[in-house]
Amino acid sequence: MIDQLQNTASRAGTRLREATDRILDRLRFDHQYSRGSWATVVVMTFLVSYYGAWVLADLGFRWTAFVALLGLNGYVFTRYPSSRAILARACYHGAVFTLLIPFVIWVVYLQSPSGLLRPFSLILTPGDVIFFFAFALVAGLLAGIGRVIGRKQTKA
Amino acid sequence: MHRRTVLKATALSAAVGGSVGMNPGVGDNRCDCPAPQPEREPPAVYDDYETITVPDDHDTIQAAVDAAEARTLVLVKPGIYTEAVQVDTPRVTIRGLNRNTVILDGEFERTIGIVGLEDEVVVENMTARNYREHGFFWTGMEGYRGSYLTAYNNRMYGIYASGAVYGRFDNCYASGSDDAGFYIGHAVPCHAIMSDCVAEYNGLGFSGTNSGGRFTIKDCVFRYNKAGILPNTMASVEEPPQHKMRIENNEVYANNNTESPSRDYAFMAFGTGIMVAGGDENEILNNEVYDHVNFGITISLMRHRGWWLPRGNEIRNNEVRESKRADLALTMPNGGGNEFANNDHSSARPWGLSRGIPGAGLGDPWVTTVYLNQMAQVETDNYPEGDWRNAPHPDRKQSMPDVDAPPGEAVSR
């Protein structure tokens, strides 16, 4: 009985050590990163997170969003093996935030501050459609740039 | 002002990147005078004057005014006067005996309630409603005053001065105009004061194109308009850019009214308490600004035959709260030198605008983007607006305390 418990504890300890090592490897960027890739992760994580927080600031949680996005973007970017792949991924993330801009602008109108404001008269107008497509175009360009960068990486 | 043309030009130029310079013409028309007022004595009263009473002496106000010489008091008894009055005699005072029951009615047919065309025309203590252009209007003169006036459901401007200097609006009320309740523009140096007035249910509470220099708006209330106070620059009128206006001690709130009448120009500033659009060296001090869906106080660029980038504006000691996007905002690009300091606020675009954060003076493109969204709605002619003819009617307003006082000059110099 005691042996069984000791074995179980030993196996659990081994798994925990392995998991901790993996996380530490990731945090140390020891798994496969050159210095350049490491710098790309840091710079892109900061830029994309700041951009995302800037987009979401109207919703009232700019800095919370920034911290959360730092973690999220950093985690995702470190899954990619090279600077090119990280850049491509950063472009995709940037495109998503760009596409969000019109929606964030409209959502604020739904948080009506007074009885004289009819939010639905301010959104979903033909002008909003044009506005949305303008941002969709920019987002598409950004995603396209990401795709080109990603393809070059694949060919390389 | 052909504002639709202006807006189309704006959108087109923005789309193609713009082909004209920044702040064209700046430096040509600058006023050396400061924004605030000097200490002034009360205006002089006339020692001797004539009095004409309507309808005792003449049936209509116009007939009384036509008969008046300089230094005449036209006293108007209660009644509804369906006329449009033009005053082309200087130093005439038109005074109602009761602000709420002396009513000029345009019946949605006539254009302007009273228009003053000569120096020192004073209008007091009456109401103008249902005119297709303006309730009360002064233009091209030196010395004007409107006191204890009510203007409602007049299409364009309620109480309006253009190209006129040395003036005052006090204790006035304006509602239901699709451009602005109050307008003082095209005058540099302006030498004007607007005080103790209320503007509600308009496109803009106040609009002033290219006006400034000893020009103060103080102790007023701006609420339930599309936007509150909007000094602005346009190249189509004289003396651009707008500069050197002081806006102080006003209460500005809930200017988010989708139901109020509006022109395209007014809607572009929707949901903003105070906006300087392309103006320079204005002073925005000690105002209480709250409950706006976009921004409390915005310093914004203006596009009209060139980019007018705001610069050198001072925004200080204001209490700004409950803005959904940001209490304080500065567009990117701007002309620099816009100083936000000691404002009680909880949010800003860019972040740190009023806290001395380096780089904040560059502005935030998000602010520009929000207004571009509203411009897109204007360009497609699809934005919320009410009918100026059906705007809410005001309740009774306080009349002039002493209707027996002798008439006098509009304001002291």
Please give the average per-residue pLDDT across B281-297, as a whole number: 97
- The model's confidence at residue B2, banded by pLDDT at 50, 70 and 90, is very low
Establish if B289 touches chain A: CB-CB under 8 angstroms.
no
* Cα→Cα distances B364→A114, B126, B298, B354, B390, Å: 26, 45, 11, 13, 38
Establish if B292 touches chain A: CB-CB under 8 angstroms.
yes
Chains A & B: contacts with CB separation below 8 Å: 81
First to last CA, chain B: 31
Q: Do B324 and A127 touch (CB under 8 A)?
A: no
> How far is the C-alpha of B300 from the C-alpha of B8, rounded, in Å?
18
> How far is the C-alpha of B317 from the C-alpha of B343, rounded, in Å?
5
Percent of chain B with pLDDT over 90: 81
Q: Do B373 and A116 touch (CB under 8 A)?
A: no
Question: For residues B70 and B48, is the Cβ–Cβ distance under 8 A?
Answer: no
pLDDT digit string (tens) for B224-239? 999 999 999 998 877 7
> How far is the C-alpha of A136 from the C-alpha of A96, rounded, in Å?
9
Query: Counting beta carbons within 10 angstroms of the beta carbon of residue A134, is it exposed (0 to 12), middle (13 to 18) or buried (19 or more)?
Result: middle
> How far is the C-alpha of B75 from the C-alpha of B83, rounded, in Å?
16
First to last CA, chain A: 57
Q: Judge if the upstream peptide bond of residue B333 is cis by omega within 30 degrees of 0.
A: yes
For residue B372, which amino acid is it?
L
Residues of chain A contacting B377 with CB distance shorter than 8 Å:
122, 125, 127-128
pLDDT of B27: 52
Which one-letter DSSP state was computed for residue B109? T
Closest CA to B278 of B351, B345, B375, B209: B209
pTM for the structure as a whole: 0.89
Q: Write out the two tokens for B180.
A: 């602005």
Please give the average per-residue pLDDT across B37-54, as a whole number: 90
ipTM confidence: 0.85
DSSP B16-84: HT-SS-BSTTTTSS---S-SSPPP-PPPPBPSS-EEEEETTT-SSHHHHHHH--SSEEEEE-SEEE---
Question: For residues B319 and B288, is the Cβ–Cβ distance under 8 A?
Answer: yes
Task: Say if residue B166's pLDDT is above 60.
Answer: yes
* Cα→Cα distances B318→A151, B356, B410, Å: 54, 16, 31
> How far is the C-alpha of B192 from the C-alpha of B143, rounded, in Å?
9
Task: Say if residue B50's pLDDT is above 80.
Answer: yes
Other Cβ atoms within 10 Å of A79 Cβ, number: 10
Nearest beta carbon to residue A118 from set B254, B270, B384: B384
Residues of chain A contacting B257 with CB distance shorter than 8 Å:
114, 116-117
Task: Say if residue B329's pLDDT is above 90.
Answer: yes
Phi/psi at A13 (5° precision): -65, -40
Q: Are strands B307-308 and B272-277 parallel, antiparallel or unpaired?
A: unpaired
Residues of chain A contacting B224 with CB distance shorter than 8 Å:
116
Task: Say if residue B19's pLDDT is above 70.
Answer: no
pLDDT of A35: 79
| Least confident piece of the model among A105-114, B151-160, B404-413 | A105-114
pLDDT of A80: 87
